[in-house]
């Protein structure tokens, strides 16, 4: 900067001089950058002359394009001669990418390659049949919105994809097909599904090959797109996707089918048609048979069943309550399989008119195991949730399950451990005991005549509950503004009433 306050560049490489304000400098520099970009684009397109030469002169265009290092760069920059050629030959490109016709070496032989670009000579000895296929796949799976729009509206190209999946066999190249389809669905927001030929049969055609990993993971990815693209969700609903899985794919691969169903309904409301279609007794029986008879499918089957618990399926789940209880009561250790089986009971019990007898045995076992495993939080949460579910249906449950002595004894142990500044055992079930104590005291208050007269054990439980409740109510994080009741959702109103 000069003494007069003007911006200057050295004369060796200067283009601009004597700018009195930074604003003028900024405007001129922006113009300079614009000119530089335009000039660079000319240089870039100049580098693509080899691509243009191949398109105009070669007798084996795809093979020669696959041997040129700048082909993909030209495609990403939407080089007009290349894009025009690709648009006119999309059907042929699809054939190469999907192996629809055997590739012969003579198809990709070109004696005039050296006249177009010297670099061809370097690759001449390494030319292979898979190169054109690789180039076609890369072009068809590029995240290029403009080109994907061309693909989604090209009837001949879509007909080739439909021909492939219609004539597919177990050894067909599903990986390439799924990559191409998934890329178009993501980039178009699902619009390609609306333009696809014979779209009403697409799901059925693909589900026949549910055992093929590429098809299975394609559907899993499609399930993830349901919440992002409404068109995908509507397409699967109108196509009765879950029903077709049970009909076309379940018998071929129960494990893959159940995992796929779990992914599809994971984030759906229970009123969705995709969920309702699974609630028939026939479909629920198929899923439960996998849970009880196929050890490799037990976990995923139980997880799916826990998502299907509602009023319309309550009769079925009441009927399998004994089998679910057997899984939990089988041995003395608690694992994830038992946790998922308990989740099915927890989610279905609120819809029962009465609690199955086996559930009381499950409650007793879980309650006793909770204190044998003081650090196993999954067990503690399962036990608490089971008590909560049973209490919603059977308020005087503690008249059938006598936990008062055990509960008071464990609370007394906790008090003794807390007398020192450093507790002997940092157990993880304190808040769970607090919740169970809450259910117990609420049940005793409403059904006092069913219980024995209040004694020292009840006082211990009540004192512990009140102390923890006082701590929970304290404003550790500062003042929390109270919202008006009219602003609360029904769930929040119910929650506040029970605090």
The whole-number average pLDDT for the span 77-101 is 89
Domain boundaries, the chain: 1-47, 49-191, 198-301
What is the per-residue pLDDT across 173-202, written as a single tens digit (0 to 9) for each?
Answer: 899 999 999 999 999 999 999 999 999 999
Angle, in degrees to the nearest 10, between helices 22-47 and 49-57: 30
- At 401 the pLDDT is 86
Structure tokens at 376: 């196993």
Q: ∠318-324-327 over CA atoms, to 5°?
A: 170
Residue 240 pLDDT greater than 70, yes or no: yes
Q: What is the arithmetic mean of pLDDT over 424-443? A: 82
Record the tokens describing residue 279, joined without a space.
């609630």
Q: Per-residue pLDDT for 70 more than 60? A: yes
Residues 353-395: tens digit of each pLDDT: 889 989 999 999 999 998 888 888 899 999 999 999 999 898 8
pLDDT over threshold 70, residue 118: no
- 21 neighbors 27 (Cβ within 8 angstroms): no
Q: Supply φ then ψ for residue 19, to 5 degrees.
A: -100, 120
Banded model confidence at residue 129, pLDDT cuts 50, 70, 90: very low
Q: What is the pLDDT of residues 147-160, one digit of tens each?
A: 999 999 999 999 99
- Give the pLDDT score at 77: 87
SS3 36: helix
For the ranges 98-107, 108-117, 157-166, 434-443, the lowest mean pLDDT is seen at 108-117
For the segment 83-112, the average pLDDT, to the nearest whole number, is: 73
What is residue 340's predicted lDDT score, i.e. its pLDDT? 94
Query: Alpha-carbon distance 247 to 419, whole Å?
Result: 63
Q: What is the pTM assigned to this prediction?
A: 0.74
CA nearest to 146, candidates 230, 235, 79: 79
Note the pLDDT of residue 161.
95
Tokens 């090209």 sit on residue: 154
Average pLDDT over residues 218-229: 92
| Location of structure tokens 């779209």 | 199
Exposure on the CB side of residue 381, measured as CA atoms within 13 A: 8
Task: Quote the CA–CA distance of 499 and 494 in Å, as a whole number.
Answer: 9
pLDDT digits (tens, 9 = 90+) for 476-489: 655 555 555 555 56
- Which of 326, 254, 244, 340 lies closest to 290, judged by CA? 254
pLDDT of residue 489: 60
Contact (CB, 8 A) for 373 and 379: yes
Q: Give tens-digit pLDDT for 28-50.
A: 666 665 655 544 444 444 578 88
Give percent of the chain above pLDDT 70. Answer: 76
CB distance 275 to 284 below 8 Å: no
Residue 311, token pair as written in the block? 């009023």
pLDDT of 417 strictly over 50: yes
Region of poorest pLDDT, from 10-14, 405-409, 456-460: 10-14
- The chain-wide mean pLDDT, for the chain, equals 81
pLDDT digits (tens, 9 = 90+) for 269-326: 888 999 999 999 999 999 999 999 998 899 999 999 999 998 889 999 999 999 999 9
DSSP-derived letter for residue 125 is G
Query: In 3D, which of 61, 87, 99 has the Cα closest to residue 144?
Result: 87
448-496 pLDDT, tens digit per residue, is 554 455 578 888 898 989 988 888 777 665 555 555 555 556 655 555 5
Residue 258 has pLDDT above 90, yes or no: yes
Measured CA to CA in angstroms, residue 206 lies from 211, 237, 498 at distances of: 10, 16, 50
């Amino acid at each position: 900067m000069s003494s007069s306050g003007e911006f200057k560049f050295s004369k060796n490489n200067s283009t601009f001089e004597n700018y009195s304000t930074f604003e003028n400098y900024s405007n001129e520099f922006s113009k300079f950058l614009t000119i530089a970009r335009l000039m660079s684009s000319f240089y870039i397109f100049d580098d693509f002359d080899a691509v243009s030469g191949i398109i105009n002169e070669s007798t084996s265009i795809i093979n020669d394009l696959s041997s040129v290092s700048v082909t993909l760069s030209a495609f990403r920059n939407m080089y007009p001669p290349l894009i025009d050629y690709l648009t006119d030959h999309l059907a042929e490109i699809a054939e190469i990418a999907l192996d629809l016709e055997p590739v012969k070496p003579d198809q990709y032989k070109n004696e005039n390659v050296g006249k177009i670009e010297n670099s061809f000579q370097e690759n001449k000895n390494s030319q292979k049949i898979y190169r054109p296929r690789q180039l076609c796949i890369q072009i068809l799976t590029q995240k290029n919105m403009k080109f994907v729009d061309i693909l989604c509206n090209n009837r001949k190209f879509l007909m080739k994809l439909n021909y492939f999946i219609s004539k597919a066999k177990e050894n067909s190249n599903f990986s390439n097909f799924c990559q191409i389809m998934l890329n178009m669905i993501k980039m178009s927001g699902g619009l390609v599904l609306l333009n696809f030929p014979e779209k009403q049969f697409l799901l059925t055609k693909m589900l026949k090959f549910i055992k093929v990993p590429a098809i299975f993971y394609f559907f899993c990815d499609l399930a993830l797109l349901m919440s992002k693209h409404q068109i995908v969700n509507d397409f699967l609903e109108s196509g009765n996707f879950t029903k077709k899985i049970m009909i076309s794919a379940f018998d071929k691969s129960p494990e893959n089918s159940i995992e796929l169903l779990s992914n599809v309904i994971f984030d759906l409301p229970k009123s969705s048609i995709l969920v309702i279609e699974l609630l028939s007794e026939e479909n629920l029986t198929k899923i439960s048979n996998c849970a009880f008879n196929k050890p490799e499918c037990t976990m995923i089957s139980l997880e799916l069943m826990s998502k299907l618990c509602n009023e319309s399926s309550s009769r079925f789940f009441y009927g399998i309550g004994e089998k679910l209880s057997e899984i939990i009561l089988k041995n003395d250790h608690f694992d994830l399989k038992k946790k998922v089986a308990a989740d099915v009971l927890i989610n279905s019990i609120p819809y029962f008119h009465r609690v199955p007898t086996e559930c009381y045995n499950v409650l007793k076992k879980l309650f006793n195991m909770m204190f044998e495993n003081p650090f196993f939080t999954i067990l503690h949460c399962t036990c608490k949730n089971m008590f909560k579910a049973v209490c919603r249906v059977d308020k005087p449950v503690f008249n059938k399950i006598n936990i008062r002595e055990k509960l008071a004894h464990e609370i007394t142990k906790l008090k003794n451990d807390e007398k020192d500044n450093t507790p002997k055992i940092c157990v993880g079930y304190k808040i769970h005991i607090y919740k169970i104590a809450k259910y117990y005291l609420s049940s005793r208050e409403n059904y006092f005549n069913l219980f024995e007269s209040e004694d020292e054990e009840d006082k211990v439980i009540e004192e512990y509950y009140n102390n923890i409740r006082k701590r929970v109510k304290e404003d550790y994080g500062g003042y929390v503004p109270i919202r008006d009741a009219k602003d609360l959702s029904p769930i929040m109103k119910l929650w506040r009433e029970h605090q």
